[in-house]
Structure 1
Amino acid sequence: MMDAALKVFMEKGFERTTLGDIVALSGGSRATLYDLFGDKEGLFLAVLDVVTAHISQLMNDIAESCGPPEEVLLQFGTSLLEALVQPDVMAMNRILVAEGRLFPDQLEGFFRSGPDQARGKVAGYLRRAADQGVIVVDDPMTAAHIFFGMVTAGYSFEGQINPARLGDAADRHEYVQQVVRLFLRGLCPR
């Protein structure tokens, strides 16, 4: 049912997708769908969680890391950008931008458990690096917001409109290297 829902949401968007479309493609029943997910919004958020699970795992990895900021942030930033440019993630992001207004309360929970938590884990890593004297950061959460923004800037606008502008994996890796270099210049010990 989740695979069918992802396929239909990607093809039709949230608003135009019907539960009947998903039931027909999955071969399941409407009763099962309601039992498992509650409604279309619940199913959409469950699909969104599955699509973004890889990003959540990246957050757990950085939460445990104690390596040098250059290496940790490069690995994290590159992995994040690669996860974000996957076709299913890009499709879900387009749906969120276009139709997220239809279920703001449910999405707030997603943001708290997804992007907000991810930035919190990066902030925790930055705090540990600052405690070690490797960087200087007054507000790790704000720094994490800035880092995420720098990594995802091209993806968020140009890449969503024209995925060809994202380049290949080597281009994205080079881009994240530049981001990390610039970001860490602002956090170098004074």
Structure 2
Amino acid sequence: MVPPKAPAHRTIKGAQRVQELIAVAAEQFLENGFDAVAVDNLIARVGGSRRNVYDYFGGKEGLFKAAMLHVSTEMAKPLDELKIEGLEIEEVLPAFGRQLVRTALSPQTLAVHRLLTNEGRRFPEVAQAMLAASYLKILDKLAVWIAAHQASPTSKLNPDISPAVLAEQFMSMTSSDVKLRAIVGLVQPPLSDTAIDKIVMSAVNTFLYGATARSALPRSSSNPNE
């Protein structure tokens, strides 16, 4: 499902229309699912023609892929733009964790989860591309920072554990549970900063010090309803 290469020459207005079409299509696909979205309705809202859609995207499935990649990139942007290079654990993990939780609980992320639940098997290439553009991209960013930190002689992170494994564990500990609770309605976003801090600092403590009786950072509950 690879769309044909878009024409190399297009007017500024035409390029803007393509981007608007992608944005509107993303909104409609997330809200209604693939089958319920008609290309003609999108064109009626944005302008252009069916020929434009087929020239640039190869058809509705190509437009779906482009729209979902747009969504994934936008979802990842706050974490992707977070500056962590060269910073210490006490600065990075809490800040990264807070943004992970906010991203996990955003309406867009929850809508993407619902869409992939319904359409992921039908469009595995799209689902995999979305994963690579969002979760895996952020996982790699954190793993690179962890690897650099492990190389320091004063690092608190075990150099014998894969950076990718540590990054995956931290991301899971921080945001997976609260996202699942939000999906089934046990948590109602948005959460307060205090509730987010409870989740994040609990994860940071456990990540750094394990489930021992003592920890170097203040204890806090991971239950946002407390």
What is the TM-score normalised by the length of structure 1? 0.83
Question: C-alpha separation between the residues in 2 aligned to 1:97 and 1:70?
Answer: 36
Output the amino acid matched with 1:99: E
Counterpart of 2:169 in structure 1 is 146
Which residues of 2 match residues 104-123 of structure 1 at below 5 A?
104-123=124-143
Determine the structure 2 residue equivalent to 1:159.
Answer: 182
Give the corresponding residue for 2:85: 65
Aligned length: 186
Alpha-carbon contact 1:82-1:169 (below 8 Å) kept? no
**What CA deviation, in whole Å up to 9, does each residue of 1:145-177 have, x standing for no partner?**
111111222243211122744451321232112
Stretch deviating more after TM superposition (162-171 or 110-119): 162-171
**Residue 136 (structure 1) aligns with:** 158
Which residue of the partner structure matches residue 202 of structure 2? 178
- For 1:110 and 1:88, how far apart are their aligned partners in 2? 13
| 1:36 counterpart letter in structure 2 | Y
Letter of the 1:91 partner, please give it: A
**Residue 57 of structure 1: CA displacement?**
5.0
Q: Distance in 1 between matches of 2:188 and 2:55?
A: 42
Q: 1:123/1:169 Cα in 2 relative to 1: closer, same or farther (>3 Å)?
A: same
Greater per-residue helix proportion: 1
Q: Which ranges of structure 1 fall in alignment gaps of 5 or more residues?
A: none
Q: Secondary structure at the match of 2:158?
A: coil
Whose radius of gyration is greater, 1 or 2? 2
Q: Residue deviations 1:34-72, cap 9 Å, x none?
A: 22222333323322333333414523535x521111320
Over the residues paired in the alignment, what is the CA RMSD in angstroms?
Answer: 2.4
User: Given residue 80 of structure 2, which amino acid in structure 1 is its aligned partner?
Assistant: M
Counterpart CA distance in 2 for 1:173 and 1:185 is 18
| CA separation of 1:8 and 1:123: change in aligned 2, threshold 3 A | same
Shift of 1:85: 2.0
**Which contiguous aligned blocks of 4+ residues in structure 1 show a shift greater than 4 angstroms?**
none
1:10 lines up with 2:46 in the alignment: no
Distance 1:13 1:173, change over 3 A: farther
Letter matched to residue 151 of structure 1: T
Distance change in 2, residues 1:164/1:72 (3 Å):
same
Instruction: Give the 5 Å matches for 1:12-51.
Output: 12-51=32-71
Distance 1:173 1:43, change over 3 A: farther
Contact 1:123/1:141 (<8 A) preserved = yes
Q: Which of 1 and 2 has higher RCO (CA within 8 Å, sep 6+)?
A: 1
